Amino acid sequence: MGHSVHSTDDMDNGSMPPSRRHANGEPNVQKVAVPPKQNLLKAIKSTTKEFFFSDEPLRPFKNQTIARKFVIGLQTLFPILEWGREYTISKFKNDFVAGVTIASLSIPQDIGYSKLANLEPHYGLYTSFVPPLVYACMGTSRDIAIGAVSVISLLLGTQCSAEADPIKNPIEYHNLVFTATFFAGLVQFLFGFFRLGFLVDFLSHAALVGFMGGAAIVISAQQLALILGIRGFTKKNDIVSVMQSVFGSMHHGWNWQSAAIGTPFLAFLFLATYLGTKNRKFFWLSAIAPSFCVVTSTVIVYLTRVDKDDVQIVNYIRKGINPVTFQDIYFSGKYLAAGMRIGAVVGMIALSEAIAIGPTFAGMKNYKLDSNKEMLAMGSMNMVGSMTSCYVSTGSFSRSAVNNMSGCKTPVSNIVMSGVVLLTLLVITPLFKYTPKAILGAVVISAVLTLLDYKEMIRIYKVDKFDFVACMGAFLGVVFTTIEMGLLIAIIISVLKILLQITRPRTALLGKIPRTTIYRSVEEYPDAYKVPGVLIVRVDSAIYFPNSNYVKERILRWLVDEEEHLTAKGLPQIKHLIVDMSSVTDIDTTGINELELLFRTLQSQDIQLILTNPGAAVIDKLHSSEIENVIGPSNIYLTVTEAVKSCNPNTTIDEA
């Protein structure tokens, strides 16, 4: 194949050096090259490698001895063995400060989040003890702080309570939670092992922002029951039911002592968060504020004994380290399917949250984050956690931010945090007896409202309206229906967006920008003018079976509209239709068939089809299908400029 074509791009305006021109002044030309044929097995191997192993994970193992390969394998699975060799006392000082700081934030949060999961307070502490140790050995992020988080706690609690009543059947409920946690970890581990992290991307950033924001609203509204001391609160999660329960109990169910304790401390927590956000120097204030509030409120309740006036208190937190729960996981029976289903959903959301956090801090500190190792680490810590009385854990937005601002250097900060939690479990838990539940509600509200990122919602609206629809779909779905429905709505809208973009790709009508040989969209550049007798259309997508018929019909509609316009003005009709394929990355057999149908349709109207700038994959398939012989090898060019010149041989390159 190979019509002689212009060897330069469309930017050439006649200023080409003499060395690149023939003696007669015409530019040097090249033929459209057909890439060398690749056998089927090699093509499959190349595609598979690029799809699953684009980061070449096996490269470090090349040309190494067996012993060295074993060491590299251990370092790959446990990165701590690699960076631990360079660990220093100065780094530990930073990690120690960061670990103690995030522990002071996580302990009160963990106790509050346990309530969202319908579990006793000590389970939240368990979840911030074992999983962080596993992650510190296997994770690659220096900044992520591992533990229980609000959204995952609520999602796990609502889904598990739909299968087993946490009050009537507490043993079955607890075992179902451990089962779901195990399968959440298994899903995460398999995603990393088979390098399937791209599946998590189907939950778009916009959908995740809406989902988190909606969950923040629902969780905050639920905590009003603790702050106001309401008993017999609704089990539903939608905002309408929650607010009906709040105001329905106004005259008989509110406890003013609880409100008097919770409200001032909530205001203090908001102030501390505001100061920590506005001034980096005060980040420590927002970090220690929850622990300060818990300690102070506990002392107040103990001294005043307002618990006798029906102020709800924690009353009891089990002392001691995590019991082994491997034997409690359902590997058979009626709860197995539910555990697998819940685990898969919760595991993917937890993974999405962690993946959204890690790269942000990695970019700030300029280090590499391995997403597949992150998934292996997350999966391992949750599987181990399920066997040691933990529920699903992941990276926390608020704690990771505090960890970063505290100056952490390595994942050792998670080990320090875990040590502080261990000390709490062994020694301090009895001191939480008089902690008012109102203060836990205040701590949870102050933590989760940071997930309501209204600024990001505004930015999404400005950038992409369809993304904003997905964001609001998730937000409203969570707020007015259920967590699961909001998530489902977000995924459906995100998938619909993908399908719409695939099936209805963009096309543009091109015109020539004056005094140049550049051709651009006439909508973007109003000064660009159309070449008489020539219609130039650019397709901005790969041409596959879902969109090939649309592309053909859209090009023909461009043609009909243009001919009607020319007829109305008494101008010459279109004789050449140029399809700019510079943005067409690939084409399949259906697309080739539709291209041939387009050629036949234009031929019946005495219009010549011309193709320009097809990429390597496209030109290879055009050549293999022999459609180039149908269209004519002389009607395939490298540039629009040369194609336009071919429509009027008397036109020079600079005039085209």
Q: Looking at residue 460, what is its pLDDT?
A: 94
Mean pLDDT for the chain?
86
Which range among 340-344, 433-437, 481-485 shows the weakest confidence by mean pLDDT? Answer: 481-485
Q: Looking at residue 32, what is its pLDDT?
A: 64
Q: Is the pLDDT of residue 380 over 90?
A: yes
Percent of the chain with pLDDT over 70: 89
Q: Looking at residue 12, what is its pLDDT?
A: 43
Q: Looking at residue 204, what is its pLDDT?
A: 80
Residue with tokens 């980096």: 280
Q: What are phi and psi of 397, to 5 degrees?
A: -60, -55
Residue whose C-alpha is closest to residue 643's, from 580, 551, 572: 580
CATH code for the structural domain at 505-647: 3.30.750.24
Which range among 73-77, 256-260, 423-427, 637-641 shows the weakest confidence by mean pLDDT? Answer: 73-77
What pLDDT, in 10s, does the model give residues 119-178? Answer: 999 999 999 999 999 999 999 999 999 999 999 999 999 999 999 999 999 999 999 999
Rounded average pLDDT over 208-222: 90
- Which of 54-63, 352-361, 386-395, 484-493 is modeled with the greatest confidence? 386-395
- Which of 117-131, 302-316, 564-578 is modeled with the greatest confidence? 117-131
Q: Looking at residue 75, what is its pLDDT?
A: 86
Which range among 71-85, 594-608, 625-639, 641-655 shows the weakest confidence by mean pLDDT? Answer: 641-655
Q: How confident is the model at residue 389 (pLDDT cuts 50, 70, 90)?
A: very high
Of 57 and 502, which is predicted with more confidence? 502
Q: Looking at residue 34, what is its pLDDT?
A: 64
Q: Is the pLDDT of residue 373 over 80?
A: yes
Q: Looking at residue 315, what is its pLDDT?
A: 85
Token pair recorded at residue 372:
């597949």
Token pair recorded at residue 420:
């502080």
Q: Is the pLDDT of residue 51 over 60?
A: no
Q: Looking at residue 18, what is its pLDDT?
A: 39
DSSP conformation letters of 366-378? T----HHHHHHHH
Q: 3-state class of 393 per DSSP?
A: coil
The DSSP letter of residue 13 is S
70: number of Cβ within 10 Å? 11
How far apart CA 246 and CA 253 sit, in angstroms, is 9
Residue whose C-alpha is closest to residue 193's, from 316, 57, 301: 57
Judge whether 631 and 599 are in contact, CB under 8 Å. Answer: yes
Rounded average pLDDT over 296-317: 90
Q: Is the pLDDT of residue 588 over 90?
A: yes
How far apart CA 304 and CA 289 sit, in angstroms, is 22
Q: Is the pLDDT of residue 3 over 50?
A: no
What sign has the CA pseudo-torsion 165, 168, 173, 174?
Answer: positive
How far apart CA 345 and CA 171 sit, in angstroms, is 22
- Measuring CA to CA, how many Å separate 88 from each of 91, 144, 361, 551? 5, 20, 22, 61
Q: Looking at residue 16, what is its pLDDT?
A: 40
Residue 204 half-sphere exposure toward CB, CA atoms < 13 A: 24
What sign has the CA pseudo-torsion 22, 24, 25, 28?
Answer: negative
Work out whether strand 576-580 and strand 534-539 pair parallel, antiparallel, or are unpaired.
parallel
Q: Is the pLDDT of residue 628 over 90?
A: no
Q: Looking at residue 45, what is its pLDDT?
A: 65
Q: How confident is the model at residue 451 (pLDDT cuts 50, 70, 90)?
A: confident
Pinpoint the residues of the chain covered by CATH 3.30.750.24.
Answer: 505-647
Judge whether 213 and 452 are in contact, CB under 8 Å. Answer: yes
Report the chain's terminal Cα–Cα distance, integer Å: 24
Q: How confident is the model at residue 301 (pLDDT cuts 50, 70, 90)?
A: very high
What pLDDT, in 10s, does the model give residues 11-40? Answer: 444 434 433 344 444 444 445 666 666 666
> What one-letter code names the amino acid at 346?
V
Residue whose C-alpha is closest to residue 226's, from 193, 187, 257: 257
Rounded average pLDDT over 375-395: 96
Q: Looking at residue 15, what is its pLDDT?
A: 38
Rg (the chain; Cα; Å): 32
Judge whether 587 and 621 are in contact, CB under 8 Å. Answer: yes
How far apart CA 116 and CA 132 sit, in angstroms, is 21
Rounded to 5°, angle at Cα 82 from 77 and 87? 135
Q: How confident is the model at residue 49 (pLDDT cuts 50, 70, 90)?
A: low
**Entry pTM:** 0.78
